[in-house]
């Protein structure tokens, strides 16, 4: 098989690795399926925390595993291909220069986790040495890989990741008992954490859930996410909504709406940057996130006793709980307060379009200009159901 044919098989398959959208010249692009000549781009934060486009490539589509939801499982009759490290370097260097991009390199497991990870590391070393590539490099390693190979990968990468896919060992056993969740996944993420804390992996470590594959609720996912951030120092968690694939054991299972993945990503943001605990966002009495409202607005609507708050005297952590106000908005409001009292909605125009939402949750020097809680609830309840959008790989 020639190299061009291999790339047209492997580049689209890499689209199953979740990334964010990216912007070029003010236009936002969604990661999607593409041929190698139009390389699939996503976005990740590099070692300095700056968003940048990344080219995604799967090194091998050959797999010995039979994960019931995976499009590359061993039992499916699909095109397969594998690149050598030399072919990886030959293929990606022109794309990295063309897009001024980083690289996310992943692989299926054609033989063993060791063999698969060795191919990734050898490719990374070749890029760093022979081709003098100094840009952003993210390697996604397979479960069960050895400590020695994780160390070798950490020494040449900006970020390492390993997909957790489900939130607990019980969920793992329910869909694929052949994998030991604690040994093959959690222990390996802990090794990555240790190398991150030793000064490697400037862009940190990441992981990914397949949302809905094991029938888990959002509480289980967010509790696991909070634990991953706290105990394993995982910097970025991705949520890939389950999509049934023809020819797999889960082909008839209902697809997970893409908006559920979005709500989980928003909730994760609240955990990392807004001071929320997971049990504030979801609980035993409400284990699923709203598909209609973002998690912060949903929390505010469920806690009318917290609002309205006085915008002139509220502490920064209180301001951060207001729907429409983020960390940058808090800094702007605190700066505005040093210039004088905020007495009317026009005084927070610096927040832009978000100021219209803020008005419903604050007092301006004791005066409320917004809509009361009952009317807000009625307005939200009258919204049309969320229409799920098709995901293009």
pTM for this one?
A: 0.89
Q: What is the mean pLDDT of the chain?
A: 88
Torsion region of 198: left, alpha or beta (phi above 0 gives left; psi -120 to 50 gives alpha) = alpha
In angstroms, rounded to a whole number, what is the distance separating the alpha carbons of residues 107 and 84?
12
19-33, 137-151, 280-294, 376-390: segment of lowest average pLDDT: 19-33
Among 54, 391, 373, which Cα is nearest to 255's? 391
Q: ∠ CA(136), CA(140), CA(143), 5° rounding?
A: 160
Q: How far apart, in whole angstroms, are the C-alpha atoms of residue 325 and residue 296? A: 10
CA 180 to chain centre: 23
Residue 161, classed as helix, strand or coil, is strand
Q: How far apart are CA 36 and CA 61, in angstroms?
A: 15
Sheet containing 41-45: give its strands across.
41-45, 51-58, 102-106, 137-140, 159-161, 205-211, 236-241
pLDDT of residue 89: 96
Higher pLDDT, 13 or 109: 109
Q: Are 288 and 264 in contact (CB under 8 A)?
A: no
Show the DSSP H helices in the chain as ranges.
Answer: 3-13, 85-99, 113-128, 147-156, 169-175, 187-197, 218-232, 258-273, 278-281, 295-302, 316-319, 327-337, 355-358, 373-381
- pLDDT digits over 45-62, tens only? 777 777 888 899 999 999
pLDDT tens figures, 349-381? 989 988 988 999 999 999 999 887 666 666 666
CA distance 231 to 250: 32
What is d(CA 325, CA 328) in angstroms, rounded to the nearest whole number?
8
Distance in angstroms (rounded) separating the CA atoms of residues 127 and 355? 48
Contact 293, 380 (CB under 8 A): yes
Select from 3.30.450.40, 3.40.50.720, 1.10.10.10, 3.20.20.70 the CATH code of 3-256. 3.20.20.70
How far, CA to CA in Å, does 321 sit from each of 54, 178, 354, 369, 386?
Answer: 33, 43, 13, 18, 24
Is pLDDT of 74 > 60? yes
Question: CA–CA separation, 34 vs 9, rounded Å?
Answer: 10
What are the domain boundaries of the chain?
3-256, 295-381
Please state, in angstroms and rounded to a whole number, the distance separating the CA atoms of residues 176 and 144. 15
What's the pLDDT score for residue 30? 45
- Has residue 119 got a pLDDT over 80? yes
pLDDT of residue 172: 95
Residue 32: predicted pLDDT: 43
């Amino acid at each position: 098989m020639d190299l061009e044919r291999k790339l047209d098989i492997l580049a689209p398959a890499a689209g199953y690795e979740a990334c964010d959208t990216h912007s070029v010249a003010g236009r936002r692009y969604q990661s999607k399926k593409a041929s190698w000549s139009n390389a699939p781009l996503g976005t990740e934060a590099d070692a300095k925390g700056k968003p940048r486009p990344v080219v995604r490539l799967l090194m091998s589509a050959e797999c010995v595993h039979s994960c019931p939801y995976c499009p590359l499982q061993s039992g499916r009759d699909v095109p397969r291909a594998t690149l050598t490290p030399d072919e990886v370097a030959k293929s990606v260097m022109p794309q990295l220069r063309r897009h001024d991009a980083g690289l996310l390199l992943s692989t299926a497991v054609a033989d063993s986790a060791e063999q698969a990870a060795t191919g990734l590391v050898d490719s990374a070393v070749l890029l760093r040495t022979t081709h003098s590539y100094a840009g952003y490099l993210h390697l996604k390693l397979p479960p069960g890989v050895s400590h020695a190979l994780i160390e070798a990968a950490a020494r040449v990468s900006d970020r390492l990741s390993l997909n957790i896919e489900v939130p607990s060992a019980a969920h793992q056993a329910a869909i694929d008992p052949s994998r030991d969740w604690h040994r093959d996944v959690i222990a390996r993420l802990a090794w990555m954490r240790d190398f991150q804390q030793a000064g490697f992996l400037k862009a940190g470590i990441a992981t990914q859930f397949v949302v809905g594959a094991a029938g888990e609720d959002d509480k289980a996912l967010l509790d696991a996410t909070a634990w991953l951030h706290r105990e394993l120092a995982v910097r970025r968690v991705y949520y890939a909504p389950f999509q049934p694939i023809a020819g797999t054991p889960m082909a008839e299972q209902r697809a997970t709406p893409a908006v559920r993945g979005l709500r989980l990503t928003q909730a994760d943001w609240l955990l990392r940057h807004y001071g929320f605990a997971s049990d504030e966002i979801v609980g035993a009495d409400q284990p699923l996130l709203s598909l209609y409202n973002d998690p912060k607005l949903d929390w505010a609507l469920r806690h009318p006793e917290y609002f309205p708050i006085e915008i002139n005297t509220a502490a920064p952590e209180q301001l951060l709980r207001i729907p429409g106000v983020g960390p940058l908005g808090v800094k702007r409001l605190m700066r505005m307060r040093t210039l004088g009292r905020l007495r009317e909605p026009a005084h927070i125009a610096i927040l832009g379009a978000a100021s219209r939402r803020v008005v419903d949750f604050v007092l301006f020097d004791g005066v409320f200009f917004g809509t009361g809680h009952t009317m807000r609830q009625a307005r939200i309840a009258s919204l049309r159901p969320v229409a799920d959008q098709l995901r293009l790989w």
